[in-house]
Amino acid sequence: MELFDTHCHLDDEKFDPDREEAFQRLRDRGVARIVCVGSDLPTSESSIRFAQAHEHTWAACGVHPHEAAEAPEGYLDRLRELTREDRVVAIGEIGLDYYYDFSPRDVQKRVLSEQLDLACDLDMPVIFHIRDAHGDMIDLFRSRKRLPRGIIHCFSGSQETALEYVRMGFYISFSGPLTFKKAPNLQAAAQAVPLDRLLVETDSPYLSPEPVRGGRNEPANVFYVCQKLAELRGLPMEEMARITTENGCRIYGIPLEA
């Protein structure tokens, strides 16, 4: 059985004490592939370096909505350069975050739109971060003439919202909160999304799933997310691992044998 953590931050400083040990633990748990995701130019660069130094590891580069106000002049040119690096498979994570509003909303929308244009020009998939902003995100998608392929990362909305994203062509990725006892709406969404659009992730070091909730998360724990998703869909764990791995490879353009 092989698992695919489609979104993690193993380059994060929280892994400084034991990064290589965490990498070995994910391998021991059957996690055969991971994607390390950037949130600004420095973390995009570090994600790429980590991916290039480790087998079966890929990277994404982008400017997160939290960092949108600090995006330097010429950041799009630098992102374009980074996408040419070996092991880069997506633009991300990018999007809208109205929960914290660390960047003004109009700036978030501008930086998001600029990166969407870049992804369309490059024909690359996008990893979307959306928190308390699904309405505006759907409106933005509907207003555009071009949409890239993409992943709604760490999905947090309703069943209806999930299915609207699916109708727009996106994949839906579930993380630790899917395993929480008080997550009926999220679990209903996971039961409704077509099997060929489901992904699993950890978003580690954040959002640890049950039964390790409360501590630092790590890619090995994608096992618990996949296990819960299999339970909700009434499928064997091995089958759900196969489905989500094939889906992850498809959207990222990674050969299954890689």
Mean pLDDT computed over every residue of the chain: 97
pTM score of the predicted model: 0.97
Angle at 210 between CA 134 and CA 97, to 5 degrees: 20
| pLDDT at 84 > cutoff 90 | yes
Question: What is the DSSP annotation of 13-47?
Answer: GGGTTTHHHHHHHHHHTTEEEEEEE-SSHHHHHHH
* SS3 at position 161: helix
The answer to whether 168 touches 202, Cβ cutoff 8 Å, is: no
Structure tokens belonging to residue 68: 């949108």
Specify the pLDDT at position 71: 97
Residue 159 to residues 126, 164, 166, 190, Cα–Cα distance (Å): 21, 9, 11, 8
Strand partners, 90: 60
| pLDDT at 183 > cutoff 80 | yes
| pLDDT at 258 > cutoff 80 | no
- Rounded Cα distance between 114 and 106, Å, is 12
| pLDDT band at residue 106 under the 50/70/90 scheme | very high
Structure tokens belonging to residue 181: 């006892």
pLDDT in tens, 45-59: 999 999 999 999 999
Burial class for 107, CB neighbours closer than 10 Å (0-12, 13-18, 19+):
middle
pLDDT in tens, 12-68: 999 999 999 999 999 999 999 999 999 999 999 999 999 999 999 999 999 999 999
* SS3 at position 66: helix
Specify the pLDDT at position 65: 98
Specify the pLDDT at position 257: 87
